[in-house]
Structure 1
Amino acid sequence: MLKTLTKTLLCVSLLATFPAMAAPDGDMAPSDKQLAELYWQGQESLKKSDWSGALERFRRLETSLRRTEPASADAAIYWQAYALLQAKRSTEAKATLEKLKRDYPDSRWSKEAESLMRQTQGRPNVASESSGNDDDLAEIAITGLMQAPPERALPILRKVLQGSHSIEVKKRALFVLSQLDEDAALAELGNVATTSNDAELRAEAIRMLGISGEDTAIERLRTIYAASKSSEEKRGIIQAWMIADKPDLVMQAARSETDEVLRKAAIQALGAMDASKELRQLFDSEKSLENRKSILQALGVAGDTRSLVGIAASNESEDIRIEAIEALGIADDDDSGENLVRIYQAASSPKIREAALQGMLISDDSDSMLKLYKQASSKEEKQALLRMLTLTGSDATLDLIEAELDKAGKQP
């Protein structure tokens, strides 16, 4: 049960929805594994309110995507604008949004960008002192109710939720409700999750039910999931089950959900939960190639090197074996580098060898690639390894580049 304040705050930080616009259902990380990793690092920075860290990652991502996947760079630009706006750098955010509109007039992010643009125009340079202070005081007062007897705190919190307070104040009230060890508090959370007219508040209540970890809360989430017609709401419930450490429920969604977006969300959640056993079972029964690839990526997130090595050496199709090999780079444990080197050296096809190099690149294992470079016997192999090494930017790689250039410069 996640009852300690520290762990609760950690879960809220990792899984809170962004206060601007959520990513559309079709939003996907870049197809290149290294760029995908950079994308998710940026998303993690956003969830931690590390605006400068997110901005730096999405700027790097835009630069790389404009070279390799130019049609996908609009996402990186949008999230830069989002981070700038959250950092209260409205002028820069507006300029970034104008660049998005200019460079990608038909972007799938156009609707979300328009919403952000309205915020840049509506956000004053000097915050409203009275409104901000009122909210600050209200949040402090609500947090203080965590120390009050539940029978006193609950009516006050219910009054806040039914009143005209801001969404942020009401979210704080939901958080405090999740900390009250009372069935009535959980019932109130359930009521907000099912009856509130505010979708953002319903989503927050769903998260808080997951944070409570109580059996009655989890059962309420199951009921909401079964009745819901909203893909976004169901995705929030899957995340709540992840917070509550309920791999059986997430597994059920991954098996039975007809919405492919939700199935993928459930598979990714299993990876974040280190649910290797469930993922292996799912892999064996899954028929969809794309879903099987998603499961392999989730096994990488779960760090299940043993399963990935076994699949890479199995009689599976080459596409599946390649995905398993690249997922070893995501796993990035102590044995991943050695396993990828062995796979590279024993590879019977150029695609398998390329996948092993991609795995090393994903895990930023330039040492293994340098070792292979020094052992390479053909010019073609050295060229392939050097191309991959240049993407790492390590000091050892730069030394190698300098040495090769010096050698080439001495030739007649």
Structure 2
Amino acid sequence: MIKKLATWTLGTCLLAATSAWALPADSDMAPSDRQLAAMYWQGHELLKKSDWNGALERFRQLETSLRQKEPASADAAIYWQAYALLQARRTAEARATLEKLRRDYPDSRWSKDADSLLGQVETGSKGTTSAAGDEELAEIAVTGLMQAPPERAIPILRKVLSGSHSLDVKKRALFVLSQLDETAALETLGEVASGSPDPELRAEAIRMLGVSGEDDAIQRLQAIYASSRSSEDKRSIIQAWLIADQPQLVMQAARNEADAELRQAAIQALGAMEATSELKQLFDSEKSPENRKTILQSLGVAGDSKTLAAIAESDQPDEIRIEAIRALGIADSDGSGPALVRIYSSAGSSEIRDAALQGMMIAGDSESMLKLYRQAKTSEEKQALLRMLTLTDSDTTLDLIEAELDSGSKQP
């Protein structure tokens, strides 16, 4: 299910947030599940940075999760995959992704946007119909090699990769190699991942090594990461480790990587992996306030409300406590609501109290806000809570609004 952006814009209306919490201006929808919504906005942050491959990976992960938890909402993730592919000039893949959107979600609210995007794809396409047909035939032929004996298939796939075939055909060859349980296939993927002059092909080979998940593939990714000077290649490897479920390797990057943006990417990947143990270790040892905030956001994505509540109620600096309180709203846990009410009730500053309200709004916890409204002792506090409540759409909130309006109309 999709819900309006109102619950997410509240924080920016009431309190200046860090850039990691800024919302994309050109989007007005997000999944209702807090963890999935966080992935959605992380994808948009990557789009803002023109990190097309990173955004593509995030929206692919989001689609997979949405099809399990909120299948009706997966159309948004598919649309933004197509957008990232088009920006990366991977037009054939963008077209195929938009066709999947049309096929799987014919009544999608993204249909008009998809039609417009498809128009851009068609306008930007350089190939003729005949060339497109030849490319499709080549992709079919390459895919058919999955059924061939490896000793025959691998030399042909290597020839495809070194030849003049399109990028899409070469990517298909990489996928086929990832499905072959042969050392020679992994060696070929490793050669492309470390030595191809095409950065997109390198990124795809790295991803396919992650998809393979073989110990040999993981070791190759470690070697490439250690020797690479390309931040984009390293970012792709972090995503590959995520796909391969290798939290310890991602943890090493988050702890030791010199590039600040790559460290942030690794921390975010740990959140997507729900690697709460690693994130807690990082938080205890991390000195950078910005990285500590990113860790808290990732703990929210991972759903660790217990750790976040402990940090929010500790003697940490207010900026850290406020970030932990907001992250509680994303955590989507039974412990989030009581913790936020407790923090609100004992807050020693308006900033902490406002952050707790923002957390409740992000969590969609109108019941807790209603409880606080009924307990409020001053008109100013009631006004602040009622403003929050008017942004929710629960029946109980509507009843309260109606009662307040009736009460006001009866006053002389």
Q: TM class, shorter-chain normalised?
A: 0.7 to 0.9
Structure 2 letter corresponding to 1:342: R
Please say if 1:382 is aligned against 2:378: no
CA drift at 1:282: 0.9
Separation in 1 of the partners of 2:287 and 2:370?
A: 38
Partner of 2:247: 247
Aligned mates of 1:328, 1:161 — CA distance in 2? 47
User: What percentage of aligned pairs have identical amino acids?
Assistant: 63
> How far off its partner does 1:180 sit?
0.6
Please list, as runs of the form range in 1=range in 2, the aligned pairs for 1:277-356 lying within 5 A after superposition: 277-356=277-356
Tell me the distance in 2 between the aligned counterparts of 1:379 and 1:55.
46
Q: TM-score, normalised by structure 2?
A: 0.73
Counterpart in the other structure of 1:256: 256
1:33-88 deviation per Cα after TM superposition (whole angstroms, max 9, x unaligned): 9998463476665764989525999xxxxxxxxxxxxxxxxx9xx99xx9x98748
Give distance in 2, aligned partners of 1:56 and 1:94. 7
Structure 1 equivalent of residue 14 of structure 2 = none
Q: Post-superposition shift, 1:403?
A: 3.2
Partner SS for 1:333: coil
Larger deviation, residues 284-293 vs 372-381? 372-381
- Partners in 2 of 1:368 and 1:140 — Cα distance? 56
Q: Do 2:242 and 2:273's aligned partners in 1 also have CA atoms closer than 8 Å?
A: yes
1:144-155 mapped onto 2 (5 Å cutoff): 144-155=144-155
Contact 1:370 1:389 in 2 (8 A): yes
Which structure is higher in RCO with an 8 Å CA cutoff and minimum separation 6? Answer: 2
Q: CA offset at residue 391 of structure 1?
A: 2.8
Q: 1:96 to 1:355 in 2, by over 3 A?
A: farther
Deviations 1:136-166 (A, max 9, x none): 3332332232222211221221122122222
Query: Partner of 2:22 in structure 1?
Result: 31
Q: Structure 2 vs 1, CA of residues 310 and 94 (structure 1 numbering), >3 Å: closer, same or farther?
A: closer
| 8 Å Cα contact 1:255/1:282 also seen in 2 | yes
* Mapped partners of 1:198, 1:299: distance in 2: 35
Query: How far off is 1:285 after superposition?
Result: 0.9
The answer as to 2:76 corresponding to 1:53 is: yes
Q: Give, in whole Å, the separation in 2 of the partners of 1:411 and 1:134.
A: 78
Which amino acid is 2:301 matched to? V
| 1:135 aligned partner | 135
Q: Quote the Cα distance in structure 1 between the aligned partners of 2:120 and 2:79.
A: 24
The aligned residue for residue 19 of structure 1 is none
Deviations 1:293-349 (A, max 9, x none): 111111111111221121122221111111111111111112211221222222222
State how far apart, in whole Å, the 2-side matches of 1:56 and 1:132 are.
22
Aligned to 2:358: 358
Please give the residue correspondences for 1:154-173 in structure 2 after superposition, counting only pairs within 5 Å.
154-173=154-173
What are the superposed Cα offsets for residues 168-212 of structure 1, whole Å, 9 maximum, x if unpaired?
121111111111111100000001111212110100000111111
User: Where do 1:143-222 residues align within 5 Å?
Assistant: 143-222=143-222
- Unaligned runs of 5+ residues in structure 1 are 1-26, 58-74, 98-115
SS of the equivalent of 1:391 reads coil
- Greater shift in the superposed pair: 46-55 or 254-263: 46-55
- Shift, 1:94, TM fit: 12
Take 1:148 and 1:242, find their aligned partners in 2: how far apart are those partners?
Answer: 30
Distance in 2, matches of 1:94 and 1:309, equals 41
RMSD: 3.6
- Give the superposition deviation at 1:29: 4.8
Quick one: structure 1 residues 96 and 169, their matched pair in 2 at CA, closer, same or farther if it must change by over 3 Å? Answer: closer
Summarize the Cα distance change of 1:225–1:305 in structure 2 as closer, same or farther, 3 Å threshold. same
Distance 1:374 1:128, change over 3 A: farther
**1:39 counterpart letter in structure 2:** W
SS of the residue 1:387 aligns to:
helix
Distance 1:155 1:239 in 2: 28
Task: Tell me how far apart the structure 2 counterparts of residues 377 and 147 of structure 1 sit (CA, whole Å).
Answer: 73
| C-alpha distance in structure 1 between counterparts of 2:236 and 2:206, whole Å | 7
Question: Kindly tell me: are residues 372 and 269 of structure 1, through their superposed partners in 2, closer, same or farther at Cα, counting changes over 3 Å?
Answer: same
Are 2:127 and 1:122 aligned? no
CA distance in 2, matches of 1:95, 1:273: 34
Letter in 2 for 1:231: S
CA distance in 2, matches of 1:186, 1:55: 29
Residues 226/56 of structure 1: CA separation in 2 closer, same or farther (3 Å cut)? closer
CA distance in 2, matches of 1:338, 1:266: 31
Q: 1:228 matched to which residue of 2?
A: 228
**Following the alignment from structure 2 to structure 1, what is the Cα–Cα distance between the partners of residues 78 and 188?**
38
Question: Contact 2:306–2:335 at 8 Å: present in 1 too?
Answer: no
Mapped contact 1:94–1:120 kept (Cα < 8 A): no
Structure 2: unaligned runs, 5 residues or longer:
1-17, 31-36, 45-54, 65-72, 103-111
**Counterpart-to-counterpart distance in 2, 1:93 and 1:317:** 44
> 1:119 offset after TM fit, Å?
5.3
Is contact 1:93–1:120 with CA below 8 Å preserved after alignment?
A: no
**Number of matched residues?**
344
Distance, in Å, in 2 between the alignment partners of 1:193 and 1:223 is 11
SS of the equivalent of 1:146 reads helix
- Residue type of the alignment partner of 2:124: G
Separation in 1, partners of 2:79, 2:246:
35
Give, in whole Å, the separation in 2 of the partners of 1:233 and 1:265: 12
Match of 1:411 in 2: 411
Asked whether the equivalents of residues 178 and 209 of structure 1 are also in contact (C-alpha less than 8 Å), the reply is: yes
